[in-house]
């Protein structure tokens, strides 16, 4: 057999990886806002501002119900009429994200608002609908909350989940038990609830309350030292 003139040579091409296109990264929430919840005053201002919208009663009621019951945007947008029991004055809450369902009592102002909304809204299995009767979208709810915040003159950039956080902090500030708040918000793990009670301003309210009447009172020896 004839000798082959072919021979092995080292490759001259170098395989390179294609650099990924630079994707814009979302700025952290801490860069966008100083906190992730609204105060009661801000929620009230948000509701009042929403009343000035074209469908002001619907929008204001949506914000009120989302706040009172700590609903996520998906939960309030998917809220169905069969979850609202007018006779029993309760709301049957269904949670997303593997949350625990529960039954919440309604306040009188919520019942009145929901009854009026039912009379004025197009026929639909959903509570909050557009003028055509289609369910409200989470993106639409987010835009509505953002516009209401701007109309209310809030300095913070608001989004729907801040209403859920506002509910948790409001309940914690009222001194409710962490386990009870966990059940109200549908948290499967209590560590998700503890963040509200940990930052509640009244958490240490009664510390040293009786200092002036026991052995820890240093007021007689050190002027102004006793904390009462």
**60 domain-assigned:** yes
Taking CA 184 as the corner, what is the angle to CA 180 and CA 187, rounded to the nearest 5 degrees? 90
**218 domain-assigned:** no
Among the options 68, 95, 104, 187, which is catalytic? Answer: 187
Strand partners, 102: 93
Q: Would residue 92 show up in a list of annotated catalytic residues for this protein?
A: no
Among the options 69, 72, 159, 165, which is catalytic? Answer: 72
| 49: CATH | 1.10.443.10
Closest CA to 192 of 9, 76, 70, 38: 70
pTM for the whole structure:
0.76
Closest CA to 137 of 164, 160, 112: 160
**94 domain-assigned:** yes
How many Å apart are CA 50 and CA 136, to the nearest integer?
A: 15
How many Å apart are CA 104 and CA 186, to the nearest integer?
A: 11
Which H helix or E strand runs over 104? strand 102-105
- CA end-to-end span of the chain: 108
Q: Would residue 33 show up in a list of annotated catalytic residues for this protein?
A: no
- pLDDT score of 125: 95
**10 domain-assigned:** no
Q: Would residue 209 show up in a list of annotated catalytic residues for this protein?
A: no
DSSP 106: P
How many Å apart are CA 210 and CA 220, to the nearest integer?
A: 15
**102 domain-assigned:** yes
Q: Would residue 7 show up in a list of annotated catalytic residues for this protein?
A: no
Cα-to-chain-centroid distance, residue 213: 43
**24 domain-assigned:** no
Instruction: Please list the pLDDT of the chain residue by residue as tens digits (228 residues).
Output: 566 666 666 666 655 555 555 555 555 555 555 677 899 999 999 999 999 999 999 999 999 999 999 999 999 999 999 999 999 999 999 999 899 999 999 999 999 999 999 999 988 999 999 888 899 999 999 999 999 999 999 988 899 999 999 999 999 999 899 999 999 999 999 999 998 988 777 777 777 666 555 544 544 444 444 433
Helix (H, G, I), strand (E, B) or coil at 147: helix
Closest CA to 203 of 166, 226, 222, 177: 177
User: 129, 90 in Cβ contact below 8 A?
Assistant: no
Among the options 51, 57, 92, 161, which is catalytic? Answer: 161
**227 domain-assigned:** no
Domain residues for the domain of 145 are 33-198
- pLDDT score of 227: 36
The total domain count for the chain is 1
Among the options 80, 97, 107, 143, which is catalytic? Answer: 97
**1 domain-assigned:** no
Closest CA to 189 of 178, 174, 198, 197: 178
Among the options 104, 164, 165, 169, which is catalytic? Answer: 164
Give the long-range contacts of residues 181-184, CB within 8 A, separation 24 or more: 183/100, 183/102, 184/69, 184/70, 184/102, 184/104
């Amino acid at each position: 057999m004839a000798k082959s003139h072919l021979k092995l040579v080292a490759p001259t091409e170098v395989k390179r990886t294609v650099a990924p296109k630079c994707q814009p990264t979302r700025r952290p929430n801490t860069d966008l806002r100083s906190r992730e919840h609204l105060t009661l005053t801000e929620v009230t201002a948000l509701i009042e501002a929403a009343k000035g919208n074209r469908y002001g009663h619907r929008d204001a009621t949506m914000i009120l119900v989302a706040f009172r019951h700590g609903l996520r945007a998906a939960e309030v947008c998917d809220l169905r009429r069969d979850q609202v029991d007018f006779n029993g004055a309760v709301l049957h809450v269904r949670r997303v994200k593997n949350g625990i369902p529960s039954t919440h009592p309604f306040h009188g102002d919520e019942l009145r608002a929901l009854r009026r909304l039912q009379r004025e809204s197009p026929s639909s299995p959903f509570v909050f609908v557009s003028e055509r009767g289609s369910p409200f979208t989470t993106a639409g709810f987010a835009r509505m909350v953002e516009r209401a915040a701007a109309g209310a003159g809030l300095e913070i950039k608001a989004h729907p989940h801040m209403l859920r956080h506002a509910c948790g902090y409001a309940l914690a500030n009222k001194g409710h038990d962490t386990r009870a708040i966990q059940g109200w918000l549908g948290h499967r793990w209590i560590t998700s609830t503890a963040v509200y009670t940990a930052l509640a301003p009244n958490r240490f309210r009664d510390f040293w309350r009786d200092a002036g009447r026991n052995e820890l009172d240093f007021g007689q020896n050190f002027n102004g030292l006793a904390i009462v």
